[in-house]
Amino acid sequence: MELWTEMRTALYLGRLGTVKAAANKMGVHRATVSRHIDTLEEQLGTKLFTRHKHGYSLTDDGLAMIKAAEKAEDLFEGFTSDLVGTSGEMTGQLRVSSLSPLSAMIAPVIREFSRRHPKVSIRVDSTTDLAKLERGDAHIAIRTGQKPSNADYVVVPFMRFTVGLYAHGDYLREYGTPKRFDELASHRFIGRTKASAKEDFEFHVLNALSEDGVIVETPDPVAVLHNVLAGLGMGFISSFDAGNWSELVEVLPQEKPYWANLWIVTHVDVHRSQIVQEFISCLRQYGPQLD
């Protein structure tokens, strides 16, 4: 859970004075408010509130924290105001954070959205890190991997895809096509090292390589794709990337392939805005829903 979640809870408690009022304002259980305050005080190493029979009052450190939280709140409110339309027509700027391999998938979505809403400008940031939505880094983030668990995030399933081990045909003609894991010791690999493997199949592949088998170490799936296309070695590539290149051949295909999920992530404060909902609607037209 992000620090801002607890700070916002403290902001409401400081303004309203009681756990019950803060919980009602946030739409959460009173125990959640108390837990957030305890966690925040532990993280900051100081008491922010004095508990008494009528409620909570701020300590000096609590007052300083509230001032900082109010500045952050003002910044975020300014960020969300970018999404407010005028005269029934949507205007403003929409910021989308996405993974670089999804650029080809996102581009037609942006084109269609811009056609429908020409007065909304769109900025896309490509990064491997999940944007800090509570800081205003983005209105919408598209991410893969485990479902984000931040309590202030609204996470919508987008699509799912398989990830397999692929190599270029030229590479396989030169080095041969491995049929078993124990044949990987003579092959080259592009991607993450064994220490950063996340799935069983990935670990088995990396464990079967020689000590110098990883010739290009990178967590960036775009770099993996381009190096594999250049015939430098084999690497893990998504099915929607591999499908665009007939020269790529899946190596050691699995009976039960590894499925990865894509998530559409928004902050609870902007999720219901008209612009965000319209963009999500466009996104969902371009990918199957998760089971």
CATH of the domain at 149: 3.40.190.10
For residues 93-108, give the mean pLDDT: 82
Residue 120 falls inside a structural domain: yes
Q: What is the pLDDT of residues 195-224, one digit of tens each?
A: 777 778 888 899 899 989 999 998 888 899
Instruction: Give backbone dihedrals phi and psi of 265, rounded to 5 degrees, phi first.
Output: -120, 130
Please give the span between the terminal C-alpha atoms of the chain, in angstroms, as a whole number: 26
| 202 plus 251 within the same structural domain | yes
Residue 2: its pLDDT value, please?
55
Which residue would you say has higher pLDDT here, 171 or 79?
171
Q: Do residues 181 and 150 share a domain?
A: no
More confident residue, 26 or 36: 36
More confident of the two residues 122 and 172: 172
What's the pLDDT score for residue 72? 67
Does residue 180 lie within any of the structural domains? Answer: yes
Pair (139, 191) in one structural domain? no
Residue 274 domain flag:
yes
Do 149 and 276 have their domain in common?
yes
Q: Is residue 63 domain-shared with residue 122, that is, in the same domain?
A: no
Tell me if 9 is assigned to some domain. Answer: yes
210-259 per-position pLDDT tens digit = 989 999 998 888 899 999 999 999 999 988 788 889 999 999 998 888 88
> 56 and 24 in one domain?
yes
261 within 8 A of 142, measured Cβ to Cβ: no
| pTM confidence score | 0.61
> Containing domain of residue 140, as a range?
85-158+262-284
Residue type, 83: L
Residues 141 and 165 both lie in one domain: no
Residue partners of 102: CB distance under 8 A and separation at least 6: 142, 262
Give percent above pLDDT 70 in the chain. Answer: 87
Domain edge (last residue) among 66, 81, 96: 81
In this structure, are 213 and 256 located in the same domain? yes
Domain-located, residue 268: yes
**Rounded Cα–Cα distance for residues 269 and 273 (Å):** 8
Angstrom CA distances, 281 to 109, 152, 206, stand at 10, 21, 39
CA dihedral sign of residues 34, 37, 41, 47 = negative
Mark whether 76 and 89 lie in a shared domain.
no
Both 182 and 124 in a single domain?
A: no
- For the chain, the average pLDDT equals 83
Copy the structure tokens of residue 18: 């009681």
Distance CA 83, CA 120 (A): 9
Residue 261 sits at φ, ψ, to 5 deg, of -110, 145
Q: How many domains does the chain have?
A: 3
Identify which of 59, 36, 40 has the alpha carbon closest to the alpha carbon of residue 49: 59
Average pLDDT of the residues in 261-275 = 84
Residue 190 lies in a domain: yes
User: Is residue 248 located within the same domain as residue 166?
Assistant: yes
Q: 34 and 10 in one domain?
A: yes
62 in a domain, yes or no?
A: yes
